[in-house]
Structure 1
């Protein structure tokens, strides 16, 4: 066991609110030396859609893998991606839609979306979805209409069972940093976004993962006790409908690296996380030759972001939550 894993095992044992240790998701197949984030797992657990990009995240593409005999297949670019800056996929709880964000223009023939913040211009994002029929066939991408796409800066959508859309963005009422918003589903469509009140607005909050029943929310940020550049937090819905004080997810979920883009899997307490954690290097190390060095530095855990799977069911049960049908 490396010194990194020993340290985290000790932290896990000492924490009374710990989640179980995580597993690197399909190393060499899904998690590689490139940048992988945002795992979207279908309700039946047999389809995985995620984002892969260069280390600067200037070229984001969606990839799809299928579970075959208990293993994830070699990922392929689905027909609805590969042409635009597509990222941050998420399934609707019924599995009939895959949502994602993209800089593709809402109207064919228009220029790609561009956003601007602090004098910098970069690829903009609008919310789209791809329908999926009962036979697993994908339709064509559909642009989601509504004020949530104003400003072309919508990130990491997450869909509740009633159709409410949670996401992170920088909007007029965000302050200096990013905040989390919700657009409620109404008979007339999605209502204008409302900021999710989670506390002091001087804190950066992004990447919400909403429980389908909206009993809790997991997100990335720093509430003042982050171990690294960003950690994962959880807030629970209180009896009066407001959100409780965010809690730092302890145990192996967070590290001294960057944790973000959480998503909930189909099983109770199943949490997927993007993390750039890597094991410590002890010196003197076992002597590398050119081949071993290339293999180690180009593989997973080289400092790029990978996808990890955790179990936070104990955390949920301690707050009185029980599994409900998705």
Structure 2
């Protein structure tokens, strides 16, 4: 059953607040997401969170096996995808949610691996089901035709045992999600990158602060962000988009029933800037954000 591969997140959702108030009336209707299999290398019951390099020649994703998760990669050679293999920086720990930077120079992912050599893996007990793998953010730099060693992003970002699901802009601004155990709400946070360092994170200000936001996918120019908002039965929430308005985000715009029918999560943007990859109960799928981008562009004052 598809739901078993995302047990931690479904348990998380069961612990969070119901409902979301979003702008829906009069919004464009997008086509239903189309399945993505990449010539059959993807497994609908175990794989999620596709992340492509800018040239589209390499794809990363995570694969579940029992209670373990591993980051996999495949290359497009001669017009065909190679059999997936475990990424050189993954395999031992609970690794997931790879994200390739817009320029392809590095990759971010989250993991329960010890933050110091010889330490213990991270564990959290925030959600339904008790103790489960924790999560901190790690970076792997591109080195020639391969990838370097994972580097912990440090305590400014990783200030808790559950820091999850990175997304990054062209200028290095980092978005991620963090749970508030007192309010029982998941929030999206943002950290600016200046002079080679991350600044103190701040709440991104997406939607109602009493409603959970999950799995942010921010545009390279930070003009829009796709995310799950609220909670629905059996899933994380409704997939929404918000647009940048000065120094804040617009009200979340619900992407509609056609997009949300399969309870999608884990949005990632394709290199083209408008195709969105998501994972739902039926597996990985893609859809175009163009109807909403055109609608927003047309509504801007000239």
Q: TM-score, normalised by structure 2?
A: 0.83
1:228 CA drift (Å): 6.8
Partner residue, 1:262: 267
Partner residue, 1:237: 244
Distance 1:199 1:102 in 2: 27
Distance 1:113 1:228 in 2: 26
- Give the secondary-structure state (helix, strand or coil) at the position aligned to 1:132: strand
Larger Rg: 1
- Counterparts of 1:79-98 in structure 2, within 5 Å, are 79-98=88-107
Which stretch has the larger CA shift, 191-200 or 312-321? 312-321
- Give the secondary-structure state (helix, strand or coil) at the position aligned to 1:202: coil
Residues 175 and 201 in structure 1, CA contact (< 8 A), matched pair in contact too? no
Q: Number of paired residues?
A: 272
The reply on whether 1:216 has 2:224 as its aligned counterpart is yes
Alpha carbons of 1:30 and 1:254: their partners in 2 closer, same or farther (altered >3 Å)? farther
- Give the secondary-structure state (helix, strand or coil) at the position aligned to 2:291: helix
Partner residue, 1:324: none
1:22 CA drift (Å): 2.6
- Give the secondary-structure state (helix, strand or coil) at the position aligned to 1:236: strand
Deviations 1:26-77 (A, max 9, x none): 167343243222111111111110011146xx21110101123433222110
Partner residue, 2:108: 99
Gapped regions of structure 2 (runs ≥ 5): 1-25
Distance 2:233 2:291 in 1: 21
Partner residue, 1:246: 252
Distance 2:179 2:106 in 1: 25
Distance 2:27 2:158 in 1: 41
Residues 38 and 81 in structure 2, CA contact (< 8 A), matched pair in contact too? no
Which stretch has the larger CA shift, 160-169 or 61-70? 61-70
Distance 2:185 2:65 in 1: 25
Residues 231 and 254 in structure 1, CA contact (< 8 A), matched pair in contact too? yes
The reply on whether 1:165 has 2:174 as its aligned counterpart is yes
Gapped regions of structure 1 (runs ≥ 5): 1-14, 278-305, 322-326
Q: CA RMSD in A?
A: 2.4
Distance 1:25 1:91 in 2: 19
Distance 1:19 1:118 in 2: 33
Partner residue, 1:320: 297
Which of 73, 76, 83 matches 1:64? Answer: 73
Residues 24 and 31 in structure 1, CA contact (< 8 A), matched pair in contact too? no
Partner residue, 2:29: 18
Residues 44 and 284 in structure 2, CA contact (< 8 A), matched pair in contact too? no
Structure with the largest fraction of strand = 2
- Give the secondary-structure state (helix, strand or coil) at the position aligned to 2:268: strand
Deviations 1:151-194 (A, max 9, x none): 1211110011111110111146x721111111111226112221
Which of 130, 148, 151 matches 2:157? Answer: 148
Which of 281, 291, 294 matches 1:276? Answer: 281
- Give the secondary-structure state (helix, strand or coil) at the position aligned to 1:318: helix
Residues 277 and 287 in structure 2, CA contact (< 8 A), matched pair in contact too? yes
Distance 1:209 1:27 in 2: 21
Partner residue, 2:209: 201
